Amino acid sequence: MFYLRLVRGYRVVDLGRWLLTSVAAAVVAAFLLRALGRALSDPPGAHSAPERLLWCLPPLLAVAWFAAVAARALPAQRAERIAGLRAAGAGPVRLRLLIAGEIALACAAGAVVSLLLFLVLRNNIAGPGLAPELGMGDPLPPAAPVALVALLPLVGGVAAVCAVPGRDALPQTRPAVTAAPFGLPRILLAGLLTFGGTLTELYALRPAAAEDPRPLQLPADLGHTNALLLGGWAAATLGAALLTGPLLAGVGRLLALGRPGARRLLAGRGLAALAPRLGTPLAVLALTLAVVLTAVRHWVAPGASGTGPLPAAEALLVIGCASAAVVARLTELRAARRPVGAALLRLGAAPRLLAAATLLRWALAGLVLLATGGLTAVLGAALLT
Partner 1 sequence: MSAAPPDNDVLWARGIVKSHHGTPALREVSIGVREGEVLAVTGARGSGKSTLLGCLSAQLPVDAGEVWFNSSPVHTLGRAGREKLRRERFGFVGSEPQLVPELTARENVALPLLLAGVGHRAAYGAADDWLERLDVAACAKRRPEELIRSQCQRIAVARALAPLPRVVFADDPTAPLHREARDQVLRILTSAARSHQLTLVLATHDPELARYADRTVALVDGRTPVPATAVRRPAAAPVAASH
Q: Which residues bind partner 1 (CB under 8 A)?
A: 177-178, 259-262, 265-266, 269-270, 272-273, 339-340, 342-350, 353
Of residues 181 and 219, the one with the C-beta less far from partner 1: 181
- Cβ 353 to partner 1, closest distance in Å? 7
Query: Helix/strand/coil (H, E, C) string of the chain?
Result: CHHHHHHCCCCHHHHHHHHHHHHHHHHHHHHHHHHHHHHHHCCCCCCCHHHHHHHCHHHHHHHHHHHHHHHHHHHHHCHHHHHHHHHCCCCHHHHHHHHHHHHHHHHHHHHHHHHHHHHHHHCCCCCCCCHHHHCCCCCCCCHHHHHHHHHHHHHHHHHHHHHCCHHHHCCCCCCCCCCCCCCHHHHHHHHHHHHHHHHHHHHHCCHHHHHCCCCEECCCCCCEECHHHHHHHHHHHHHHHHHHHHHHHHHHHHHCCCCCCHHHHHHHHHHHHHHHHHHHHHHHHHHHHHHHHHHHHHHHCCCCCCCCHHHHHHHHHHHHHHHHHHHHHHHHHHHHCHHHHHHHHHCCCCHHHHHHHHHHHHHHHHHHHHHHHHHHHHHHHHHHC
Of residues 174 and 224, the one with the C-beta less far from partner 1: 174
- Cβ 176 to partner 1, closest distance in Å? 9
- Cβ 237 to partner 1, closest distance in Å? 30
Of residues 271 and 292, the one with the C-beta less far from partner 1: 271
Of residues 101 and 341, the one with the C-beta less far from partner 1: 341
- Cβ 286 to partner 1, closest distance in Å? 24
Of residues 13 and 349, the one with the C-beta less far from partner 1: 349
Of residues 266 and 364, the one with the C-beta less far from partner 1: 266
- Cβ 253 to partner 1, closest distance in Å? 10
Of residues 206 and 352, the one with the C-beta less far from partner 1: 352
- Cβ 202 to partner 1, closest distance in Å? 38
- Cβ 88 to partner 1, closest distance in Å? 22
Query: Collapsing DSSP states into helix, strand and coil, what is residue 224?
Result: strand
- Cβ 366 to partner 1, closest distance in Å? 20
Of residues 34 and 263, the one with the C-beta less far from partner 1: 263
